[in-house]
Homo-oligomer: A and B are copies of this chain.
């Protein structure tokens, strides 16, 4: 029998303590709701971590026991310590999956993994969003129809400053006139990364069954097959083939120098 996937859900967990609307919607934090539906999806073991815990809850031990890390942050990206970001980055390059949700596009870890600014347009008038499914044969869209419709969403618009995704899964249409690459896959090192746009704190996005299905699918897709540190270079002194060390042929190089 396949082993359960170990998922750590990281949440900034600030809005839920300070904003009444968010508090009402997510009294135990968005991470609690995500953990609940992932557990119910089956084959997944969850734990959670939040910004204000020591080491933001992301100790070496926690990461070494994490197959896939989910990330939600918004107002406190700058409070995430750089050494924790480096630790997470190295774990992703070694193979851990990383699912970045919504406003996590501006998180340090997402920008670190991609190397770009991840900036975008935005507007908040609770407008309609329709996420078109470009890849119905992809594991992330299993069970999803032609599109997912959200009655109320914050708008994110292009240009989204990201590297061209390895695979573009969803493109969003917004009532107000914009489009957005809403579901994007990349591979970095041995790890898989999925960015998924929905997830605004004041709308009941994480209660939507299709959104839940996509996140559960993405966890299965990002589950690593190997975990292996990619940081060290390797010095192979003896060649595989029978080749002796050579004298350097300087040709006319030296002449041009004199």
Contacts and interface: CB of A to CB of B under 8 A. Distances in A.
A9 B136 CA distance: 26
Copies in the complex: 4
A4 interface: no
Interface residues of A, number: 97
Contact of A176 (B136, B161, B189, B239): B239
Contacts of A257: 24-27
A226 B133 CA distance: 14
A250 B152 CA distance: 9
Given A136-B228, A179-B173, A152 B241 contact: no
Given A115-B114, A246-B125, A161 B93 contact: yes
A180 to B, nearest CB: 9
Nearest to A21: B248
24 contacts: A90-B117, A93-B116, A106-B233, A117-B189, A119-B231, A119-B232, A119-B234, A122-B233, A122-B236, A123-B239, A125-B244, A130-B177, A130-B240, A132-B159, A132-B179, A134-B159, A134-B160, A139-B225, A152-B249, A158-B171, A161-B230, A164-B167, A168-B168, A176-B239
